[in-house]
Amino acid sequence: MVQDERYMQRCLDLAILGAGTVSPNPMVGAVILHDGCIIGEGYTSPYGGPHAEVNAIQDAYQKLGEAEAQIRFRTSTMYVSLEPCSHFGKTPPCADKLVELQFERVVIGCLDPFAKVNGQGVKKLQDAGMDTTVGVLTDACTFMNRRFFTRIQQQRPYVILKWAQTDDGFFSPEDAAQQWISNNASKQLVHKWRGEEDAILIGTSTALIDNPGLTTRLWNGKNPKRILIDKSLKVPADAAIFDEEADTIVFNANQTDWQKNKKLIALEHFDLYLPQQMLYQLYLMDVQSLIVEGGAKTLQSFIDAGIWDEARVFVSRQRWGRGKPAPLLKKSAANVQKVGNDDLNIYLNGRNT
């Protein structure tokens, strides 16, 4: 079991390399072990490309040659952090490939909750007589794909709340002027996060006051889809959020339209269950994860609705004495990290009190 956990951890280390590119697929890593040596490893390619198991097999082919690799597979263990798929999607079923190549053993981190897989991949392996172990580092494997699991099981994106506040609990000045709270390292980290998630959301006031582009300009990563809450369509057409750097979706009360990279979606009964309405629409568009970077009112609306999964809160050393209070989370942080002289508090909804 210690060996299984060691190589499953390697699968997880590989899986995270797919962050920001595989959605709406899960992040998966795979390792092929033969006589105590890794002969192939891989992780899921960008969406539409080969899955982790196939990339690990191809890696072994490149190292050993196809004929020699296939001989060794028959006495090898395939480690994979998520159950091999059993259905035809963008790619053929990975479970069929493992059966075809006659791996001696397959070790799986956790089952895939997707209805077309959920246990069916394991069944294919077992029906072929393969030694199959399920449930190694299960919690870590599930947490790795918490975005994917949330979309499949709750029919909504995984929601990450993000904000910065002063040491004495203020979010912004009383006059609503823009004033930076976090340090430069924290700003760069936020841009890294943007590249790892599918979409980022702000409200009307943030768009008008800060005029953010919501891109990854401080990091080398893809720009997320930009989501704007703008009930009365007050944000001007020349605002930075409407530039051509990324697609922008505008939830409003009046108009549904598609203009180049700008999509307007009118919500019926706009003020009724707004977070729930927006998240369901995003789910239908295959948005798997969402960072909420809006103002205090927008952030608090998700907190009050209980529809959030993770909160990342920067606390600076600044003390203002007055200002608009930060959103209120009635939880203790699951983890606190130092980012320069800022404290980064991580909260996990449902996992801590």
Q: Is 297 annotated as a binding residue?
A: yes
Contact between 55 and 21 (Cβ < 8 Å): no
Q: Is 177 annotated as a binding residue?
A: no
Identify any residues that bridge with 134 across adjacent strands, giving them in sequence order.
108
Known active-site residue 268: no
CA separation for the pair 311, 121 (Å, rounded): 34
Q: Is 299 annotated as a binding residue?
A: yes
Q: Is 204 annotated as a binding residue?
A: no
How far is CA 134 from each of CA 20, 81, 82, 139, rounded to the nearest angstrom? 27, 10, 9, 12
> For the packed helices 296-305 and 274-284, what is the interaxial angle rounded to 10 degrees?
90
Torsion 211-212-218-220 (CA) sign: negative
Q: Is 164 annotated as a binding residue?
A: yes
Q: Is 193 annotated as a binding residue?
A: no
How far is CA 16 from each of CA 10, 13, 159, rounded to the nearest angstrom? 10, 6, 18
Q: Is 210 annotated as a binding residue?
A: yes
Q: Is 295 annotated as a binding residue?
A: yes
Q: Is 127 annotated as a binding residue?
A: no
CA separation for the pair 237, 281 (Å, rounded): 23
The active-site residue out of 5, 41, 53, 68 is: 53
Tokens 């977070």 appear where? 275
> 204 φ, ψ to 5°?
-60, -50
Q: Is 81 annotated as a binding residue?
A: no
Q: Is 217 annotated as a binding residue?
A: yes
The half-sphere exposure of 86 on its side-chain side, counting CA atoms within 13 A, is 19
Q: Is 41 annotated as a binding residue?
A: no
CA separation for the pair 7, 80 (Å, rounded): 9
Contact between 173 and 296 (Cβ < 8 Å): no
Strands (E), 173-247: 199-203, 225-229
Q: How many Cβ atoms are within 10 Å of 235's Cβ, its own excluded?
A: 24
Q: What would the DSSP string read from start to end of 219-230?
A: SSSPPPEEEEE-
Q: Is 194 annotated as a binding residue?
A: yes
The half-sphere exposure of 202 on its side-chain side, counting CA atoms within 13 A, is 23
Contact between 267 and 252 (Cβ < 8 Å): yes
Q: Is 300 annotated as a binding residue?
A: yes
Question: Annotated binding residues for Zn(2+), as ranges?
Answer: 51, 85, 94
Residues annotated within a binding site for NADP(+): 164, 180, 210, 295-301
* Enzyme catalytic residues: 53
Question: Which residue ranges are tagged as binding site?
Answer: 51, 85, 94, 164, 180, 194, 206, 210, 214, 217, 293, 295-301
Binding site membership for substrate: which residues? 194, 206, 214, 217, 293
